[in-house]
Structure 1
Amino acid sequence: MELNPSWDMDKLEAIVPRDELWKFTDNFKIKPTVSDRPIWPTGKGNAFSVKSGYLLASSLRSSHEASTSVDDSELWNWVWGLEVIPKVKLFLWKCLSGSLPTAQALVSRSVELQPWCRRCGEEMESIEHAIRDCSWAAFLWEISPLRLTPVNQSDPWNVKVWVERIRSIPDKEVHNLFASLCWACWYAQNLCLSG
């Protein structure tokens, strides 16, 4: 058997997330001049140990946490610095961290209920649908002082991208109104649940 010193990236991408590929290909190099045997690059003598596995996993996790916390720290400061009531700030934080109990999220956690929007019944109730894409929410955004038009469904933004675009507008009043309207959409969505 002839060794190929490069990774089969198509197959590797199928099992390793794209943003983690570099860690894989940099840490586990194929050396065609060495006989084929399992090695563990972080262990003593290239042998695996629980300690070396734990240290590698810890370093990968801490580097991932550091990169996400650095990326999001400005966003979180912006959320907590809004001049709105605390429940709106908490709501927006839950939106951005994917913690809202939408029907889609509850179904994914094995809660037995219909995942469809309780207001329009047209799509699954995701965070984006509840506060932006539902026909009722889209109408609210169009008639609001912000005059936001519905997002092109062929290129839907996730809520984080949408918030980042609003954040780029240098007007604190726009930011506060945006956060309050997001909360109002969610509140109205939940009124459908209670009747």
Structure 2
Amino acid sequence: MWTDSWIPDHPPRPPRAHGDFQAKEKVNEYFGTIRAQWNEQKLLEVIIDEDVDKILAIKISSTTRQDLLGWHYNEDDIYTVKSGYWLGIHLPTNAPPIPTHGPAKLKHKIWKTKAPARLKDFLWRFLSKSLATGNNLKRWHIVQNDQCRRCFSAAETADHIFFEGPYAKKIWRTSGVSKLTINNPNYTFEKILKHVCNVLYQLSYNICRIYLFGCYGDYGREKTL
């Protein structure tokens, strides 16, 4: 009664008492004179009101059967991998998930551009700082040298590949994006990309595709040099 986690809470737990109780009591000692009912008066004398309500909501079988373990996270009390996964990420003791880098509104805007789907995914990874750039590969202990393999003049960061590198600058000059925006030292990475998304949103599909494939292709060549 007081040690098993049989109260269908999140997560399941034993009932909480406010009165005296016997540690070795069993749940069936709180049944009423009619087996299919609870002894509500006895429950109220020992258990806090909130837990009494949860207990009274549990139906008692009218026939004598062996007790079985149930999984209260599904209506049929049967465990599924899906419900187990849900519990695993929603336990009250879990630390809140750490969001990926980059503002959510800007990531949402990326999906509204007229770029092909794989390039939208590429831009999302770019904003999340999860691309396999040299500095990330070094941080992940995959490589020791993070130097750009195209210009060999700076570390291979996302900013370098897509904004600061000589090849990237050539693409930006024909992109329709203001040079003042790209070269402004006070603009953050996210602010520049937000401006880029505004421009891409206005471009025709074909122009947008040509421009983004230029950036995407440069990144791909970096990875194969």
TM-score bucket (shorter structure) = 0.5 to 0.7
Percent of pairs identical after alignment?
19
Equivalent AA in structure 1 for residue 135 of structure 2 = Q
Q: Within 2, Cα distance between the matches of 1:88 and 1:133?
A: 20
Equivalent residue number for residue 171 of structure 2: 140
Cα 1:85–1:144, aligned 2, differ >3 Å: closer, same or farther? Answer: same
Hey, what does 1:120 align to over in structure 2? Answer: 151
Q: Which ranges of structure 2 fall in alignment gaps of 5 or more residues? A: 1-90
Question: Which deviations, in whole Å up to 9, do the C-alpha atoms of 1:129-180 show, x marking residues without a partner?
Answer: 111110111122113344636514xx26443221123345595218985686
In the alignment, what sits opposite 1:184? 214
Give 1:97's aligned residue.
128
Q: How many residues align?
A: 134
Name which one, 1 or 2, has greater alpha-carbon Rg: 2
Larger proportion of helix: 1
Alignment RMSD: 3.5
Give the alignment's TM-score, normalised by structure 2: 0.48
Name the structure 2 match of 1:4. Answer: none
Which letter maps to 1:151?
Answer: N
- Kept in 2: contact 1:117–1:125 (CA 8 A): yes
Q: Which amino acid is the alignment partner of residue 137 of structure 2?
A: L
Q: Which residue of 1 aligns with 2:183?
A: 151
Residue 83 of structure 1 corresponds to 114
Q: CA–CA distance in 2 between the matches of 1:137 and 1:102?
A: 15
* Cα separation, partners in 2 of 1:76 and 1:91, compared to 1, 3 Å: same
Distance 2:116 2:92 in 1: 43
The runs of 4+ residues in structure 1 deviating greater than 6 Å are 54-57
Any stretches of 5+ residues in structure 1 without a counterpart? 1-53
TM-score if structure 1 supplies the norm length? 0.54
Counterpart of 1:110, as a letter, is H
1: CA distance between counterparts of 2:201 and 2:124?
A: 20
Q: 1:111, CA displacement in angstroms? A: 1.3
